[in-house]
A = this chain, B = another copy of it.
Amino acid sequence: MNSKLQELQELKVLKARLREVIDLNSALSILHWDQSTYMPDGGAQARGRTTATIGRIAQEKQVDPEIGRLLDVLEPVAEDLPYDDDDASLIRVARRDFEKAIKVPPDFTAEFYNHRAVSFSTWAKARPENDFKAVESMLEKTLDFSRRYADFFPGYDHPADPLIDRADYSMKAETIRALFADLREQLVPLVDAISQQPIADDSCLAQHYPKKLQLKFGEWVARQLGYDFKRGRQDLTHHPFMTGFSIDDVRITTRVNEHYLNDALFGTMHESGHAMYGQGVDDKFEASPLMYGTSSGVHESQSRLWENLVGRGMPFWRRFYPQLQAMFPGQLGDVPIETFYRAINKVERSLIRVEADEVTYNLHVMIRFDLELALLEGNLSIHDLPDAWHARYESDLGLRAPDNRDGVMQDVHWYDGMIGGSFQGYTLGNIMSALFFDAAKKAHPEIMGEIEVGEFGTLLTWLTENIYRHGRKYTADDLVRRITGSPLKIEPYIAYLQTKFGELYQL
């Protein structure tokens, strides 16, 4: 039957049409990478205009009725094929994209791209200056765009649903709210128990670590993990991210704090995890809608797996700590590995999400998630957002940021995208990272031993085989069920945290 589909001229035409959309989206990603890394200040306005034009054309191409017609012809043929047939999967995913895209007018897309470029540049300048006023009206517009976007999908249960669906297909505010409530119930007692214990000493990390050497070590580690620098690179930016323009051009960015070792080191491992996912997609999906990661949650499961389950583990550092000491002999030469290990896993209620430990991290995400819902519901105004931020940090983490720079302006997301759906992926990813890592270790019990000697091939191959190579062929839910045999559950993740931090804090 497959050959019948493959023989249809319509399939070739559809693929060519979709390739055009992918190319336009790749160009947009390159423009965005440039804006986030090297673009001079003066370029912001033109960049807004240029991305708006390309974004509108991409959208116009994507909603061309001809794509709908081609899908109408191809779907009945594809329906006879197994779910995991490549072409059937392509058609399924293309239909899903098409149905979503046609609801959004190209003018809206252009307008939003224009707004986004200017908003991002404004934030990048305003954040160091702690100038919330400068971004306030931008954020109001962003909220308005986000609501208008949601309203293109009438019938939602919650206005956040269409926005969540963009990042994490088929997830809804209500499901996530319930999931997060369960998780919080387990996390809060763990955080409380740990905070009764003596606080870990991370002074060894809070020394002067020259930028150049930090970057060198981070890139070397990324290379060891399996990130291919012939098909990627790392640059500096305001807020680290991964972006891909092709399976063979997947880039990461980082920022360096010369007075704290963690940020760049674990940031690089985090982004490398994303990048290995991007580089691991099967070549046959290049330039098709299947070439990307399948969801925000699955993407984060990979960044968090490499950053935390691998990169913050004792086995990993048994192999790499001597190298780190050799790079920074003055700072770490006399620090025992146990001290270092406790330092990089110090649990502490803190202000910055991307620097938070594994246990408190999800509390940061939940704050943002709830604020997004409140904003979209109309129960919170942008004007009141900074105070609402502070109030939630006080109630959830017992801390108040001294300013908005480390408060509501700390994350790029709301300044570089929509409000809604921006954060739940991190926690979904944490939950999935434990599921996937457990499955990999179950299939290959030698993995932990290999990590101890700096070998990651078995793990990377398993992840590639079971997750990366499929691109968007399977949904997050598909992957979880295929790998674990059941739907998403939080217990393995909780068990991982309880075991690791129970040992560390002798609970």
Bound-state CA distance A153–B420 (Å) is 54
The count of identical subunits is 2
Closest chain B CB from A254 CB (angstroms): 15
Chain B residues with Cβ under 8 A from A286's Cβ?
46
B39 & A249 in contact (Cβ 8 Å cutoff):
yes
Contact with B along A245-283 (1 / 0, CB 8 A): 110110100000000000000000000000000000000
Closest chain B CB from A175 CB (angstroms): 36
**Interface size bucket, A side?**
35 or more
> A209-263: which have CB < 8 Å to B?
228-233, 235, 245-246, 248-249, 251
Chain B residues with Cβ under 8 A from A57's Cβ?
20, 24, 57
A248 & B30 in contact (Cβ 8 Å cutoff):
no
Closest chain B CB from A212 CB (angstroms): 11
B34 & A50 in contact (Cβ 8 Å cutoff):
no
Chain B residues with Cβ under 8 A from A23's Cβ?
49-50, 52-54
Q: Does A485 have its Cβ within 8 Å of any Cβ on chain B?
A: no
A42 & B287 in contact (Cβ 8 Å cutoff):
no
B233 & A47 in contact (Cβ 8 Å cutoff):
no
- Main SS class of interface, A: helix
Bound-state CA distance A31–B246 (Å) is 13
Closest B residue to A286 using CB positions: B46
Closest B residue to A56 using CB positions: B20
Chain B residues with Cβ under 8 A from A50's Cβ?
23, 26-27, 30, 245
Contact of A287 among B20, B39, B46, B230 (CB under 8 A): B46
Q: Does A40 have its Cβ within 8 Å of any Cβ on chain B?
A: yes
B287 & A47 in contact (Cβ 8 Å cutoff):
no
B246 & A53 in contact (Cβ 8 Å cutoff):
no
